[in-house]
Amino acid sequence: MKLYRTTAGCVVEEDNQYYRLDGITLDFLLSREDLPEYLSEAIAGSTSTAEFRFDDVLAPISDQEVWAAGVTYYRSRGARMEESKDAGGGNFYDRVYSAERPELFFKSTPSRTVGPGGKVRIRADAHWSVPEPELTLVISPKGRIVGYTIGNDMSSRDIEGENPLYLPQAKVYNGSCALGPGILIADGPLPHSTEITLEIDRNQRVEFSGSVALTELKRDPKTLVEYLLRDNVFPNGCFLMTGTGIVPPNSFTLAHGDRIRIAITPIGTLINEVA
């Protein structure tokens, strides 16, 4: 079952049938502990009501914060150690990869987040920018993982590499986050074999492509959630990106007009152009 936020309100998809949830807001849904059960009941016995146009789909966020985990894949650890070695930061990334406490950082507000078809941005003062395709957890106020979506943690690697203390500037700026297309309602954990794929097209040609499986994710999603909720409250739930395992080579930087395609099979495909 999937949940979409559209220009006509929230829509549930099950077995290729679409059900509009009239008068029900995304905040109401994401503040519930029983979201999977609530949605099943809401559509049970009803006939499909909604016309569904993919062009009407909006980012699945309303009044939630977006947080992110970092250095959760070996590939990310290596890339960060290399980009920050001149700044003496390499050791920090190695240490956080194996530490008990994960790296968690504030990533985005709803106004900085775009949905499917929206334009992500390269920071105006950055010279080396990449998308980070990440499985993103949808978390209830009490910390239940109620769904999954796709996230793009747009990052300025030159700013991050210059000094690890510049992380918030490398990560949080206008158009630095994409989420969507919809929320796959959780029916237990995703299989470890689940693949995340990234393709970046430039002038109708594939400039970079890569993939990673969740087997490579070092941290258990439930542990990431437990740390995030240790001393934070999220009355309307929140999103937590789980880190990237796909890093393009150092010679690659995003350009205006690039098309970023991130797919996670059970969830869907998130496509954004770089403004």
Residues near ligand DO4, by CB under 6 A: 68, 70-72, 76, 80, 103, 132, 153, 167, 243-244
Select from 228, 244, 271, 274 the one that contacts Mg ion (CB under 5 A). Answer: 244
Residue 13 binds Mg ion, judged by CB under 5 A: no
Complex with ligand DO4: residue 40 or 163, whichever CB lies closer: 163
- Cβ-closest residue to Mg ion? 153
- Per the CB < 8 A criterion, the answer to whether 207 and 112 are in contact is no
d(CA 235, CA 254): 36
Instruction: Considering the complex, state which of residue 83 and residue 153 has its C-beta at the smaller distance from Mg ion.
Output: 153
What does DSSP assign to residue 118? P
By beta-carbon proximity to ligand DO4, the closer residue of 39 and 241 is 241
Residue with Cβ nearer Mg ion (76 or 140): 76
Cβ proximity of 130 and 248 under 8 Å: yes
Residues between 115 and 144 that touch Mg ion (CB under 5 A):
132
Sign of the dihedral defined by the CA atoms of residues 200, 205, 207, 211, in that order: positive
The single-letter code of the amino acid at 87 is A
123 touches which of ligand DO4, Mg ion, none (CB within 5 to 8 A by kind)? none
In whole angstroms, how close is the CB of 244 to ligand DO4 at the nearest point? 4
Residues numbered 143-182 forming contacts with Mg ion, rule: CB under 5 A: 153
Quick one: what does residue 65 bind among Mg ion, ligand DO4, none, with the CB cut-off 5 to 8 Å set by partner type? Answer: none
Separation between Cα atoms, residue 50 and residue 42, nearest integer Å: 14
Which of ligand DO4, Mg ion, none does 179 bind, CB closer than 5 to 8 A by kind?
none
Query: What contacts 258, CB < 8 A, 6 or more positions away?
Result: 200, 201, 202, 207, 273, 274
71 binds, among ligand DO4, Mg ion, none (CB under 5 to 8 A by kind): ligand DO4
CB 21, min distance to Mg ion, A = 32
The DSSP result for 161-201, as a single string, is HH-GGGHHHHH-STT-EEEEEEEEEPSSSPPTT-EEEEEEE
CA distances from 212 to 59, 69, 112 (A): 24, 16, 26
Nearer Cβ to Mg ion, position 153 or 258? 153
- Pairs from 22-29 (Cβ < 8 Å, separation ≥ 24): 25/62, 26/60, 26/61, 26/62, 27/62, 27/63, 27/64, 27/236, 29/3
At 100, list the tokens. 């008990």
The site partner of 83 among Mg ion, ligand DO4, none (C-beta below 5 to 8 Å per kind) is none
CB of 247 to ligand DO4, least distance (A): 8
- The minimum distance between CB 15 and Mg ion, in angstroms, equals 34
Please give the residue whose beta carbon sits closest to ligand DO4 in the complex: 70
User: Residue 216 or residue 273: which is nearer to ligand DO4 going by CB?
Assistant: 216
Minimum separation from the CB atom of position 28 to ligand DO4 (A): 31
What Å distances lie between residue 157 and 67, 210, 218, 264, 268, CA to CA?
A: 18, 18, 22, 24, 27
Contact residues: Mg ion, CB under 5 A: 132, 153, 244
